[in-house]
A and B are shown apart, each in its own frame.
Chain A
Amino acid sequence: GEDVEQSLFLSVREGDSSVINCTYTDSSSTYLYWYKQEPGAGLQLLTYIFSNMDMKQDQRLTVLLNKKDKHLSLRIADTQTGDSAIYFCAEGYNNNDMRFGAGTRLTVKP
Chain B
Amino acid sequence: GAVVSQHPSWVICKSGTSVKIECRSLDFQATTMFWYRQFPKQSLMLMATSNEGSKATYEQGVEKDKFLINHASLTLSTLTVTSAHPEDSSFYICSATPQGRNTDTQYFGPGTRLTVL
- Tell me the A residues contacting B by CB distance below 8 Å: 1-2, 8, 35, 41-45, 48, 86, 88, 90, 95-100, 102-103, 105
Q: How far is the CA of A45 from the CA of B41 in the complex (A)?
A: 8
Q: Which among A35, A86, A97 is the interface contact of B44 at CB below 8 angstroms?
A: A35
How close is B72's CB to chain A, nearest CB, in angstroms?
24
Residues of B within 8 A of A1 (CB): 1-3
Q: Which among B41, B93, B107 is the interface contact of A102 at CB below 8 angstroms?
A: B107
Stretch at the interface among B15-23, B80-88, B108-116: B108-116
When the two chains form their complex, are residues B36 and A102 in contact, meaning their CB atoms are under 8 A apart? Answer: no
Specify which of B2, B44, B95, B105 lies most central, judged by the most chain A CB atoms within 10 Å of its CB.
B44
How close is B101's CB to chain A, nearest CB, in angstroms?
10
Q: How far is the CA of A1 from the CA of B43 in the complex (A)?
A: 25
Residues of B within 8 A of A48 (CB): 41
When the two chains form their complex, are residues A97 and B9 in contact, meaning their CB atoms are under 8 A apart? Answer: yes
When the two chains form their complex, are residues A98 and B93 in contact, meaning their CB atoms are under 8 A apart? Answer: yes
User: Is B58 located at the chain interface by the 8 A CB criterion?
Assistant: no
How close is B43's CB to chain A, nearest CB, in angstroms?
4
Q: How far is the CA of A95 from the CA of B51 in the complex (A)?
A: 30
Q: Which among B41, B43, B45, B110 is the interface contact of A99 at CB below 8 angstroms?
A: B110
User: Is B104 located at the chain interface by the 8 A CB criterion?
Assistant: yes
When the two chains form their complex, are residues B3 and A103 in contact, meaning their CB atoms are under 8 A apart? Answer: no
B2 (CB) vs chain A CBs: closest residue: A2
Q: How far is the CA of A44 from the CA of B46 in the complex (A)?
A: 10
How close is B38's CB to chain A, nearest CB, in angstroms?
8
When the two chains form their complex, are residues A96 and B91 in contact, meaning their CB atoms are under 8 A apart? Answer: yes
A98 (CB) vs chain B CBs: closest residue: B111
Chain B positions 9-56 with a Cβ under 8 Å from a chain A Cβ: 9-10, 36, 41-46
Residues of A within 8 A of B106 (CB): 100, 102-103
Residues of B within 8 A of A102 (CB): 2, 105-107
When the two chains form their complex, are residues A103 and B104 in contact, meaning their CB atoms are under 8 A apart? Answer: yes
A-B contact pairs, 6 of them (CB 8 A): A35-B44, A41-B46, A42-B46, A43-B36, A86-B104, A96-B111
